[in-house]
Chain A
Amino acid sequence: MNWLDTIVQGVLLGGLYALFAAGLSLVFGIMRLVNLAHGDLIVLAAFLVLLLVTTLGLSPFVAAVIAMPVMFALGWVLQFGLLNRTLGNDILPPLLVTFGLSIVIQNALLEGFSADSRRISAGGLETASLQLGPISVGTMPLLTFLSAVAVIVGLNLLFYRTALGRAFRATSDDRETAGLMGIQPNRVFATATGLAMVVVTIAALYLGMRANFDPTMGPARLIYAFEAVIIGGLGSFWGTLAGGVIIGVAQTVGASINPEWQILAGHIAFLLVLLIWPRGLFPRAVD
């Protein structure tokens, strides 16, 4: 067993989990909204990309670029019309409404696309690999990881370098005072969820190109995403990437010992981190 190889594969897998988690991190960080439908929205986006690829014959990457504004609009409307109504001190309404949404999306996809497994064809990219020194790295996992880093860098720039990012942070700190600045919290939240759906589309692209997917696999992606966000700490995008990598490495190490332990090892790593750092590794100073 080559440990270096295992770790590298784990880090790259962590990139995929970080992509699942980045949109959730944005939404959770800004409005403390626990979106239990996040995983199903990733699967929904994957079907949207698949539909564009198969009906228009597009490259998956072009299809994803077209899907992004559609998903942004969906996220905006979803937040503005539905989820904003659930925000407040009580944690139950957002949990229950997004739980209901999760079930609605899952079953709507089952009706529309059946329970069959699908895959987005990437034209041979799936099997390509690169030789990096002593280890061989799949092109697709590497591309996934680099995309995750790019998404995290992009979200950080947006969050800390733009007027919209300032509005995100200000609204997250204090909705009422943000209103005194002319910020419309409901619109800011809708924009945040719209952006999260753009990230979801990127996650969906890789989900669909790397392996088979079907309408029921959303909740499992949600669990990985949440683990990455919580390990990283509320509101830290780099923390989310670190969280994804921890889950990814734990899974590949677990799988190298016994293939049946892959998922279990990821969950146990999450529980251990949370046992020691209940607020995650890099919690924002202000909470």
Chain B
Amino acid sequence: MADHAFSPWKVETRTRASSAFGLVALAVVIAAAAAPLFVSRSVIQDLFFILTMLVLAQCWNLLAGYAGLVSVGQQAFVGFGAYTMFAVVILAGLDPIVGILLAGITASVLAIPVAFFAFRLQGAYFAIGTWVIAEVVRLLLAQWKALGGGTGTSLPSGATREMFGVGLVSDWLGVRPSQAADIVCYWLALVLACATIGFIYKLLRSKQGLGLAAVRDNREAARSVGVDPGWMKSVVYLAAALVTGIAGALIYVQKARISPDAAFSLTDWTAYVIFIVVIGGIGTIEGPIVGVIVFFILLNLLADYGSWYLLVLGLIGIIVMLFAPRGLWGLFADRTGIQLFPVRRILTGASSTTKGVPHG
């Protein structure tokens, strides 16, 4: 009886669209995992690019869209992760996979002093401060002669071909080792992208995630519901650094050649990422997914026009920010009410039980 009095009211975050989407998403992931069996090497490389940019975009979105940390210095972690992997392979002679895992650790270790410093700064100062720190890390690593100094270096030939799992894939699919290495990288990127989205989704649905929204919207309110905004921001910042570092290392396993200017490029690892998030829709998990697809299509449409590509991208970014500040996904969600990754809590069961005793 007591059950009946209380159970009709349920707090849910699931919506009908999201349940259906769950099945579709599962099918997409399975298809993506099986893609190397059907598509060409260049398509795999394109998909790898899309997935790694998606991971970077999700991380930046977590910082700027949810925690209010507008960083212009995420290239610090991409480059640091990539250099960690190179050091592990070239100096210690270990497998690149080990380097990728270590990159996550070193990037989050780097994030500790960076956060200690940058969190003393507010708003615009934070943005500029993170950028300067990324420059400092770039200039310091350019001094590391063993890794090529300012001009950079390449992975030893064979390092990726002898990477863990490559031989197996090569035999299994009957492809050359260099192609098998691309496939392994691609699968790792797929796992990383799914894990990142899963982690962020879980984080946002948790009590801590609710606190994070409170932190973004109102510092004082967050304190009053028992969330320590400083602590929450630190955790998010470190998590984003970890994932960004892993992504950076993975990107450079595939590139196999590194230089400080490329690995710490503001344009490649922060400007592009910001446009992906803004065009897709900041503050949603769907946004970066939409954004990366639009970004990739634009990239291919405008690839032959040199600097016009970036010019158009910049203009689109400005227009979206001014006229659709919640991005393409925001426009779509406003019209349809569809949420694929619902994090808002919905009270259900009320309409069917109105004849019961209302609880105030």
Contact = CB atoms under 8 A, between A and B. Distances in A.
Contacts of B123: 91
Interface stretch (B101-109, B131-139, B153-161, B168-176): B131-139
B310 A223 contact: no
Nearest to B140: A264
B266 A275 contact: no
Given A91-B124, A101-B314, A104-B318, 7 more contacts: A93-B322, A99-B271, A100-B275, A103-B317, A104-B314, A267-B139, A271-B136
B311 A97 contact: no
B142 A107 contact: no
A252 interface: no
Interface string A105-126: 0111011000000000000000
A275 B308 contact: no
Secondary structure at the B interface, as helix, strand, loop or mixed, is helix
A85 B308 contact: no
Nearest to A28: B124
Interface string B323-360: 00100000000000000000000000000000000000
A104 B311 contact: yes
A103 B117 contact: no
A268 B136 contact: yes
Interface size class of B (residues with CB under 8 A): 35 or more
A275 B113 CA distance: 12
A230 interface: yes
A209 B263 CA distance: 32
B139 to A, nearest CB: 4
A100 B275 CA distance: 8
A86 B125 CA distance: 18
A93 B117 CA distance: 24
Interface string A234-273: 0000000000000000000000000010011001101100
A91 B70 CA distance: 8
A36 to B, nearest CB: 8
Given A104-B311, A107-B308, A107-B314, A95 B127 contact: yes
Contacts of B64: 92
Interface string B274-314: 11001000100000000000000000000000111111011
* Residue in A92, A260, A263 with the greatest tally of chain B CB atoms within 10 Å: A92
A103 B311 contact: yes
Nearest to B267: A103
B139 A264 contact: yes
A32 interface: yes
Interface string B68-79: 001010000000
Contact of B128 (A92, A103, A226): A226
A34 B124 contact: yes
Interface in A151-205: none
B129 interface: yes
A219 interface: yes
A111 to B, nearest CB: 5
B68 to A, nearest CB: 9
Interface string B234-268: 00000000000000000000000000000000110
Nearest to B316: A100
Given A264-B136, A264-B139, A100 B317 contact: yes
A70 interface: no
Nearest to B283: A92
A14 B124 CA distance: 23
Contact of A86 (B129, B143, B266, B322): B322
Given A85-B322, A92-B64, A97-B318, A32 B136 contact: no
Contacts of A107: 307-311, 314
Nearest to B322: A85
27 contacts: A34-B124, A36-B72, A82-B322, A91-B123, A91-B127, A93-B322, A95-B70, A96-B317, A101-B314, A103-B311, A103-B314, A107-B309, A107-B314, A111-B307, A223-B135, A227-B128, A260-B143, A260-B150, A263-B135, A264-B140, A267-B132, A267-B139, A271-B133, A274-B117, A274-B125, A275-B117, A278-B121
